[in-house]
Amino acid sequence: MIHKTAIIGKNSKIGESVTIGPYTVVEDDVIIGEGTIIGSNSLIASGSRIGKNVHIFNNTSIGTIPQDLKFNGEITTLEIGDNTVIREFCQINRGTDYHYKTVIGKNCLLMAYVHVAHDCIIGDNVILVNGCQIAGHCEVHDYAILSGHVLTHQFVKIGSHVMVEGGSKVKKDLPPFIKAQGTPLKYGGVNIIGLKRRGFSEQSIQNISDALRFVFREKLSRTLAIEKIKGMDLDDPNVRALLEFLEKSDRGIMIA
C-alpha cells in the first residue's frame, strides 16, 4: 500500500507488497524490494537500492548526497540488505567517487538517530545502538555491536563480533572478537559471551584468546605480533581472519 500523500518518482522501481507511509518522498532512480515497509515523513533519495523486507521507520533520510566537499555530483549509490531495520531519525548518505557506494548489510538494526556517512561498509547482522555516528569510509564487520553514542574516526575498521562500550570514541582499528571499553578506548578482553551465543567452539575461543594475547597483553609491535600468531600454526579460520585484519589495518590497532 502506498499512501495517497506519498510522492513516488516515475523512474523508481517498487516491489510487490511494499508499504509507503504518508508524506514520504521516493525520488527517481530508487529500487525498493518486495515486502519493505517505509514509514511516514521519510526521504528515500536517488541512488538508493533497498532490499526485501526492510523496515524503515518514520522521519528518516536515506541515500542523500554525501556531506563531503569533494563530492561533485557523481552517480553513486546506497545499498541496504534484506531484513534490515532502520529506526526513526536515522540518516545514511550514499557514496562518493572513492567507493561509489555506501553499504548496509542484511539483518542489521540501526536504532534511532544513527548516522552512517559516505562510503561506509556495514556488514551483516550489525547492531548500531541509538546515536552512533559512523564517519566516512569506515567499515563495521559482521555481528559487531556498537553501543549507544559511539563515534568513529574516518577510515576506521571495526572487526567482526566486536562489542564497543557506549559513548566511546573509536580512533584506531578494533580487531575482531574483542570487547573495547574505557576512556581512552582500550582492549577489554575477548567477547566470550557473544562468541558462545554465535556457536563458537571452546577450542576456537581459546585459540582466539591465545592469539590476541600477542596483540594486546604482551605489548608487541603489530609486525611481531603477526609473526608470533603465525608461529602458533593453528588451523583455525577465525585466527586466520584475525591475522588478515591485522595485516590490512591502515590506521593502526587500538592500544592495550
- Looking at the annotation, which residues are catalytic? 118-119, 136
CA-to-CA distance for 189 and 184, rounded, in angstroms?
A: 15
- Please state whether the peptide bond connecting residue 175 to the residue before it is cis, i.e. omega within 30 degrees of 0: no
Strands (E), 109-152: 109-110, 115-116, 121-122, 127-128, 133-134, 139-140, 145-146, 151-152
Task: Characterize 168-189 residue by residue with b for buried, 16 or more Cβ atoms within 10 angstroms of its Cβ, and e for exposed.
Answer: bebbbbbbbbbbbbeeebebee
Contact 39, 58 (CB under 8 A): yes
Place of cell 590476541: 212
3-class SS of residue 112: coil
3-class SS of residue 116: strand
